[in-house]
Structures are given as C-alpha cells and as structure tokens.
A and B are shown apart, each in its own frame.
Chain A
C-alpha cells in the first residue's frame, strides 16, 4: 500500500492530502461515486490527530458511536474504506502542487512521489505534524547541522558529544541507541520522572549509575556556538540557575506540532491559515481543488469530525461531475441501492437469505 519514489507519475482520479478521519471518510464518499483515490500524509500511520494526539482518548460526539478512542475511530474508518482500495503514501509531505497543461494537478511529495490527479482534496486538518522547535533565538541556524529533531542515520552521530533533550520514548530510545557509538550522551529533562517506557527508563538509569551516561534535570533554555556548530547548551535548573554545558550535538524531542506547511504555497486563498470554501460543495477558490475538515473555513464552521464527514459527502457529489461528466448523478442510499452495495462488496450476501 505504500511506495517509495515513483519513476513515472502515478495517475489517479483524486489525491487526498491528509489521512485523518475526514480524508479517510472522503475515500468512502468518493468511492461510492466511482472515484479512485491516493492519500498522502506526513505521519507514518493513518488517523491524523486521532492517531497522533489522542489515540487513547475518548471521543463522544461521533453520531451513533457513544464512545470510541482516536485509534478505534481510525481503525473503523480503515475498515469502512477497504472496499475502495485506496493507496497510501505515508511519511511523506505534500510539497508542491502544479497545474497540468492538459487539466488536473501534479502533486509532488518530499519523498519524490509524483501523483497526477484530476482532483485535489485538502483534508490536512491543522496542518502537517512537525517536531516542536525549542523557542530559542537563532536555533534555525543550527538545525540539520548540530541540532536535530529526528535521527535519520545513526552513523552521523558516532564519536559525538550529544545532549538528548526530552522525557518521552523518542528521547530515551535515542539516548540508549546512540550511547554505544557516541563519545558521550547526556540526557536532559525538566524533572526526574519520565513518561517513556519503564524498561527504557530502567536501562537509562543503569547506564547513568555505571557512569556511562549523564543525566541532568534542567530545562533546555539556550545554546551557544557559531556557524551552525553548537559548542554548549544552556541548562536552567529548578532553582533557575543557568549553566553552559559543553556538547557538539543536540537532539531535542518535545513531541510534534501542527504547521500549515507547503499547502500555504499552493496558490489558494487563505484566511488565518485556513482555506475558505463554499458550503455547497466545499470547493476552494480554485475549481477542482476542495478543502474539507479542520483546514477549511466558512460562515458557521465548527471544527468537529462530524462536520468533516458531511463536507466529504457534499464534496464527492461535486467531484462526480468532474470525473464522470458523461454520467448523470444519481442520489442513492446504501441501505437500498444494489449498485452501491455492489461497490461495497456486500451485494450478494446469500448467507442472510439462507438464515
């Protein structure tokens, strides 16, 4: 279901940016209208905020589902859209969008995937999830050189004097994984309690006890260096004492935040980082580009998952007229339409007849 860089552009009816609940349900509504979809999401899993922010937290306002968690909602949507065989391009950011001379759009991701689609559905929620950047002046000059928010190649950290900041699984996992190859690893965290898996915390404490790793309880409040090379990190302890602690590499893991990202450069009108749409079909200022879910705005908008579901249904009705201009739109119910049931793969359920 996932691919790497494609050699020739993928051809499809619709590309959906964002695999959160609205993007997933759009697959269903488009599928009922015989429209094939590809989805792109920066996270490595479907679900969007439901997967990243509140996988275990309860949601109580999905119609007819008194309670489910973010993970459960995602799983149910994945089950519901299975008959339509969408293709997911996960762990990739939708980077640029260009109009094709023959009509339609070319979407390129940061992983080099190129998708040519007649329609673009932006279901990007609050934007792309990206690592939180410490609010330290000038830190951007060091990013990718000596300050990192992710580890791509462990080898680049061999022999380094590393400070890992954070108290969750990412921080603990990388502190433990890099400890054998680094010159020295120091873990810094604001308190002497960790949310990471107890097993990792135990391993970290053992290494600290053996003198093979350092642990400092302090906030990451500043850094010093030149030309992108960190020379020390400023740590502020509980009593607000600041010290400059020498290091040549900083890895900061404070979780993810949402940023609109490259969608801002797609040439669409924006209102306070949201995309204005009409409420008849949720098309943007650009015909054949739609925006549904939290990313759009219109008078009376409520940022609820159920709003996004409704928007997906109306969007799909308009999408049908673009993809099947030769056909007449037919309004049908899944309860009674053998045509729709056929698409859902439930048409010939003879077991029920036999019962």
Chain B
C-alpha cells in the first residue's frame, strides 16, 4: 500500500504505507522532512498537509481538537489536515497529500 506525497518543491514521492500508522509517521519513515514537533500529539500544527481534492469526503472528519490546532497553521483550507491525526487504513491506499508551508 502506498501514499503519494507532494513536497514543497512540487515533487511527488511514492511512500510505502503501513496500516494503523499515521500519515505523519509514513511521511517521516519515507525520509521526507516534516517538522511534526510535538511528535504526533495534536499539539503543534507543524504536520499540516493538504489532502488532494479527489480524496475529499473519503477521510474521517477531523475532531474538534484537530480543527482547533489548525488555527496554529498557515494558509488553512478545506483540504487542510494534520497528518498526525490521519490514521492510514487500507481504504486510504493511494492517498494523495501535499505538504503545507510551516511543516518543513
């Protein structure tokens, strides 16, 4: 299973994805720099990613804590998520996300 990550230069990377891992961990394990300063505890907003619009509606909705924490991110849109709060499942095979400024 895989996810596709677009980095800040616009380059797409195919990353091996593991079930139950967060998208933040998959990005980090794939060797792509991502700040994720709080280590995945939804406390810093430095793993901000944009989910590709083709995946709109296919992900579990963010909880209140994640939405609140996104206030500490920049250029937040309807596609914005915190990668540490997205848990990868087989339904998300092929997920496309793009790193946001402020997360690298």
A residues touching B (Cβ–Cβ < 8 Å)? 49, 53-54, 57, 126, 132, 134-135, 166-168, 189-191, 195, 219-221, 236, 238, 240, 254-255, 257-258, 303
Number of interface residues of B (CB under 8 A): 22
Whole-angstrom distance between the Cβ of B78 and the nearest chain A Cβ? 8
Distance, CA A257 to CA B77, complexed state (A): 21
Instruction: Kindly supply a per-residue 1/0 record for chain B positions 42-66, scoring 1 wherever the CB is within 8 Å of any chain A CB and 0 otherwise.
Output: 0111100000000000000000000
With A49-B38, A53-B38, A195-B68 given, is the CB distance from A220 to B44 under 8 Å? Answer: no
CB-based A-B contact count at 8 angstroms: 53
Chain A's interface: helix, strand, loop or mixed, by majority? Answer: loop
13 A-B residue pairs with Cβ-Cβ distance under 8 Å, sorted by A, are A49-B38, A53-B43, A132-B72, A135-B74, A168-B72, A189-B71, A191-B71, A195-B68, A254-B73, A254-B74, A255-B45, A257-B35, A303-B39
Smallest CB-CB separation from B75: which chain A residue?
A219
Contacts of B71 in A (CB 8 A): 166-168, 189-191, 195, 254
Chain B's interface: helix, strand, loop or mixed, by majority? Answer: loop
Contacts of B16 in A (CB 8 A): none
Contacts of B77 in A (CB 8 A): 240
CB <8 Å contact, A126 and B37: yes
Query: Which of chain B's residues 7-45 have a Cβ closer than 8 Å to chain A?
Result: 35, 37-39, 41, 43-45
CB <8 Å contact, B102 and A54: no
Query: Which of chain B's residues 69-97 have a Cβ closer than 8 Å to chain A?
Result: 70-78
Distance, CA A166 to CA B76, complexed state (A): 12
Distance, CA A168 to CA B70, complexed state (A): 11
Contacts of B37 in A (CB 8 A): 53, 126, 257-258
Smallest CB-CB separation from A53: which chain B residue?
B43
Contacts of B46 in A (CB 8 A): 257
The 8 closest A-B pairs by CB, nearest first: A135-B101, A255-B72, A53-B43, A167-B71, A190-B76, A53-B38, A54-B43, A195-B68
Distance, CA A160 to CA B7, complexed state (A): 39
Distance, CA A240 to CA B75, complexed state (A): 10
Distance, CA A132 to CA B72, complexed state (A): 8
User: Looking at the complex, which one of A57, A219, A254, A257 makes contact with B41 (CB distance below 8 Å)?
Assistant: A57
Whole-angstrom distance between the Cβ of A238 and the nearest chain B Cβ? 8
Contacts of A166 in B (CB 8 A): 71
Whole-angstrom distance between the Cβ of B34 and the nearest chain A Cβ? 13
Smallest CB-CB separation from B44: which chain A residue?
A53
Contacts of A167 in B (CB 8 A): 71
Distance, CA A335 to CA B53, complexed state (A): 61
Whole-angstrom distance between the Cβ of A118 and the nearest chain B Cβ? 33
